[in-house]
Structure 1
Amino acid sequence: MTSTGHEAQLRIPEGVLLGHALVGRLADSLGIRVFFIKGPASVIQGLRKAKISADVDVFVDPTRIEDLLQGLYERGWRQRPVDPDDRTFPKHSVTVHHSAWPCCIDVHFRFPGMEGAAHECFTALWANTVHVELAGQRLRVPSKALGILFLALHALRSRDLPACREELEYLAVLTWRESLAEALLELASATGALAAVRPFLEGLLPEATTAVWPEPSREWHNRVAAQAPGSARLIAIAQASWRDKSRMLWAAIFPPREVLLSANIYADMSLPGRLDQHGARWWRFLRAAPRMVRNLRGLR
């Protein structure tokens, strides 16, 4: 207890480390294979410059995700509201939060850009994990090559942002210095990530190495193009059948409450509060309109 009589609150860096320990011990107790991606482990491995992580990213065996989530629910964690439109926003993780914790836990069952079948993809990923000491626990994390693949795919989704360009440059130097390009190629092939990672990896491969690069999927094209607020919805509506367009347009104009709560779980859901949030959404949309037009032209 603090001197004021209130319970001491976890700070974000502490919460993230303890969150890793919590999920790791829970998974061990249930016999579930998990490993942690991005976050503090990537800093320990030298894959990222020092930075504070805001949440816990864990990749779980897709066949056991419900078991892990149930274990978290029993410990007071609750699923964060999400947009129910999984056509516009294909799901790759489940995010849970806890009223006493300052961070969320993102439970991944797939990763954007890795488009291999779920079971085969996880098998390839699990075979390329190593142990590190983190938060007083011995936890599994990606090998250096796999860690680079995860971080590169994450940055490639928004590679026009200065921070993402800087991260890709840092990863490129690391890949070249440690001669990891061919290992990256093998991992990308095994996980169905060749098309997505090509802009990063192609120029790093030795001249003698040849690769067959598949075309990026529509999902990946859309993720990369949808950089401005609202552009993902416009892209999905443009690509939808005429039968679905009107329904999707209605949902975009009058979104369900989950959409508002997905941005802020403590959002004011009274009528005045919802009106304020709708006004803010439209303001963001109008400000981003020129950029969205460029996105749609690029997709054509």
Structure 2
Amino acid sequence: MHAATMPWSVGIRFSHAALQALADDHDVDLLHIKGPAVDDTLGGGTRQSIDADVLVRPTHVDRLIAAMHSHGWTTQFLFEDGSAFEHASTLVHPFLAPVDVHRRFPGMDGDPAAAFDRLWNDRHVTDLAGMPCAVPSVTAQRLVLIVHAARGGRLPHADIERSWTSSTPDEREAVIALAANIGAGVALAAGTGRLDEFVGQPGHELWRVLSTGERSRAKIWAARVRSAPTKRAAVRTAIRLIVPNRHRMQTSLGRAPTTREVATAYVASARSGGRELAGFLRSVASERRRR
């Protein structure tokens, strides 16, 4: 006789509920985003997710992760292990679906604490696995879904259709106003076909590259470095995108990588990056000749 297996979608809802219980017990402010937390008018009832996503008040992040560690969760990926945005840490549990704990949301380039306050003040509550969970306003959910789709280069996308194309003029204006308030204007424009309005502004090149689904590592690398807010951040971003990630290697191998394995990864990364960079430079030179 085989043991029953919990449907993945149910496990994700239980993860949301478990995190809300921990948040309530430890005075943590968090908002449930994406997946089953999305409003039904935006397709929430039919969404398929691989994990649960929460956006946490930046000053409460460490408190939440400590509470999760004390209740059976382990950190699979640190914030620094994820994307160049370093926005989320992934935690796993023996019986529940994985969780991405966001300390900021990519594309919301204003102050993370101020952005969270803005979203928190307009929150409402929805039921996830029997637990009342705080979620952003529908306007904020539209913004999150559009920006997330744009970052993945999945244009056109059903989320953009529901959150923007099929919305009313007033709904669009509300999303634009919110995006301007929390520094997400460029990212929103990338997902809504208005990126030309932001030429020359910080982040324009990065979101142009991301939203078009660019696959060239060199082009993405160059755009991320150019979009860094400071020279120090640009150098740090450049190093992170070139140097092999030891923690990800350890997760993949199931053990700490050996010195030889790390060295091999360095060589492979350098060769691959060199080929990509050479191709990128050739294309830039070709474009300049045509001008």
Using the size of structure 2 for normalisation, the TM-score is 0.74
What is the CA-CA distance between 1:145 and the residue it aligns to?
Answer: 1.0
Could you tell which deviates more after superposition, 133-142 or 166-175? 166-175
- CA distance in structure 2 between the aligned counterparts of 1:89 and 1:173, rounded to whole angstroms: 29
Alpha carbons of structure 1 residues 117 and 215: separation in structure 2 relative to 1, 3 Å = farther
Residues 230 and 83 of structure 1: is their aligned pair in 2 closer, same or farther, counting only changes over 3 Å?
A: farther
Alignment counterpart, residue 165 of structure 2, candidates 157, 166, 173: 173
Q: Following the alignment from structure 1 to structure 2, what is the Cα–Cα distance between the partners of residues 10 and 276?
A: 40
- Map of 1:255 onto structure 2: 244
Question: What secondary structure is seen at the aligned counterpart in 2 of 1:80?
Answer: strand
Q: Hey, what's the Cα distance between the residues in 2 that align with 1:29 and 1:128?
A: 22
String of CA shifts for 1:67-122, please: whole Å, max 9, x gaps: 01100011121222358589x81311222122x14632111121111111122111
> Which residue among 173, 187, 192 is the counterpart of 2:183?
192
Q: CA deviation at 1:259?
A: 3.8
SS of 1:175's partner is: coil
Determine helix, strand or coil for the equivalent of 2:89.
Answer: strand
- Tell whether the 8 Å contact from 2:125 to 2:133 is kept in structure 1 after alignment: yes
The separation in 1 between residues aligned to 2:191 and 2:245, in whole angstroms, is 38
1:11 shift after superposition: 4.0
Alignment partner of 1:255: what SS? coil
Matching of residue 182 in structure 1 with residue 167 in structure 2: no
1:125 is aligned to 2:106 = no
Find the aligned partners of 1:39 and 1:186 in 2 and give their Cα distance: 24
CA distance in 1, matches of 2:150, 2:114: 23
Unaligned segments of structure 2, at least 5 residues: none
Alignment RMSD: 4.2
Cross-structure match for 1:32: 28
Q: Does 1:148 align with 2:132?
A: no
- Partner of 1:217 in structure 2? 202
Normalising to structure 1: TM-score of the pair? 0.72
Report Cα offsets for 1:237-283 as digits up to 9, x if no partner: 78897xx97x957x766624224346x47489468987997898789
2:86 to 83, 91, 98: 91
1:233 Cα deviation from its structure 2 partner: 3.9
Residue 206 of structure 1 corresponds to which residue in structure 2? none
Could you say which residue in structure 1 is the equivalent of 2:42?
46
Question: Structure 2 matches for 1:72-83, cutoff 5 A?
Answer: 72-82=68-78
Aligned residues: 274
Q: Deviations along 1:204-224, whole A, 9 cap, x unmatched?
A: xxxxxxxx9695424x63355
Code of the aligned partner of 1:257: R
Q: Partner letter of residue 217 of structure 1?
A: P
Mapped to 1, the partners of 2:65 and 2:241 lie a distance apart of: 30
Q: Percent identity?
A: 23
- Aligned: 1:59 with 2:48: no
The answer (yes or no) to whether the contact 1:146–1:184 under 8 Å persists in 2 is yes
Aligned AA (2:179): A
2:178 matches 1:228: no
- Please give the alpha-carbon distance, in whole angstroms, between the structure 1 residues aligned to 2:101 and 2:238: 27
TM superposition shift of 1:188: 1.0
Instruction: Provide structure 1 residue ranges, at least 5 long, that are not aligned to the other structure.
Output: 204-211
Q: In structure 2, which of residues 110, 114, 124 is the aligned counterpart of residue 116 of structure 1?
A: 110
Native 8 Å contact 1:268 1:274 kept in 2? no
In structure 2, C-alpha distance between the alignment counterparts of 1:119 and 1:238, rounded to whole Å = 24
C-alpha distance in 2 between matches for 1:267 and 1:166: 40
